[in-house]
């Protein structure tokens, strides 16, 4: 074995020890709360990817989509066909509606569906897509969200996406990733692409 191969093997052996120790120490089994926040592309996409993974493993999954309008949605087409329950707020972006009172009503209506999902023992995985904005805009009271998340079934996992997640959400979460925008095609004049961007 050459020096290069030997060094590679040594480095990888050390890495393996570190990973094995971590795996041995990770013995708590429970449903996870995952928050995907930040200003970069890929938050909702990651949430829907988790649902696709769950469905592939035979988990029972449900999705609530806040903010987004009723336009054609690629992930919804595939996942609904594969048994995922969908609830869509359907008002469109806040800058299109420009109506705080109507948006609040729509948000609360879909939040009530979320509270039912977060009490449903048969659901393994719930995606609350773009929920963070509902708290930022004060459409849904923070305390109500925290209570429902805290009291959900022990083995139910939840993914919350959206920019600027409230500190109390990230503190409650088991896993938090921040998706940082390094650059975005849209800012260089590239049109959003069907099947890739939406």
Interacting residues with its own copies between 151 and 170 (CB under 8 A): 157, 170
State the minimum distance, in angstroms, from the CB of residue 53 to its own copies. Answer: 4
Which of 28, 71, 122, 154 touches its own copies (CB under 8 A)? 28
**Total number of residues that touch its own copies (CB under 8 A):** 88
Neighbouring CB atoms inside 10 A of 51's CB total 23
Between 112 and 138, name the residue whose CB sits nearer to its own copies: 138
> Computed over its alpha carbons, how large is the radius of gyration of the chain?
20
Binding flag, residue 88, its own copies (CB under 8 A): no
Handedness of CA 153, 81, 55, 131 (dihedral sign): negative
State which residue, 99 or 121, has the beta carbon closest to its own copies.
99
Rounded CA-CA distance 129/119 in Å is 18
d(CA 42, CA 135): 20
27 belongs to the binding site for its own copies (CB under 8 A)? yes
Torsion sign (Cα): 156, 162, 165, 170: positive
Please list every residue from 119 through 158 that binds its own copies, using CB under 8 A.
124-125, 157
Stretch that binds its own copies, among 105-113, 114-122, 142-150, 172-180 (CB under 8 A): 172-180
Site string for its own copies, 29-58 (x = CB under 8 A): xxxx-x-x-x-xxxxxxxxxxx-xxxxxxx
Residues 6+ apart with CB under 8 A from 21: none
């Amino acid at each position: 074995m050459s020096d290069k191969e030997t060094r590679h093997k040594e480095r990888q052996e050390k890495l393996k020890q570190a990973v094995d120790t971590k795996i041995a120490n990770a013995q708590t089994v429970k449903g996870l709360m995952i928050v995907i926040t930040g200003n970069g592309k890929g938050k909702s996409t990651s949430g829907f990817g988790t649902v696709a993974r769950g469905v592939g493993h035979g988990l029972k999954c449900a999705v609530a989509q806040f903010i987004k309008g009723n336009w054609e949605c690629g992930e919804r087409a595939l996942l609904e066909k594969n048994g995922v329950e969908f609830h869509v707020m359907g008002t469109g972006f806040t800058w299109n509606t420009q109506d705080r009172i109507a948006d609040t009503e729509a948000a609360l209506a879909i939040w009530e569906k979320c509270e039912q999902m977060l009490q449903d023992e048969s659901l393994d995985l719930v995606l609350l897509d773009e929920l963070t904005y509902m708290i930022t805009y004060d459409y849904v009271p923070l305390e109500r969200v925290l209570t429902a998340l805290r009291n959900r079934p022990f083995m139910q996992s939840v993914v919350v996406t959206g920019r600027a997640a409230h500190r109390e959400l990230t503190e409650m979460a088991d896993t938090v990733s921040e998706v940082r925008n390094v650059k975005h095609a849209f800012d260089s004049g590239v049109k959003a692409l069907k099947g890739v961007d939406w």
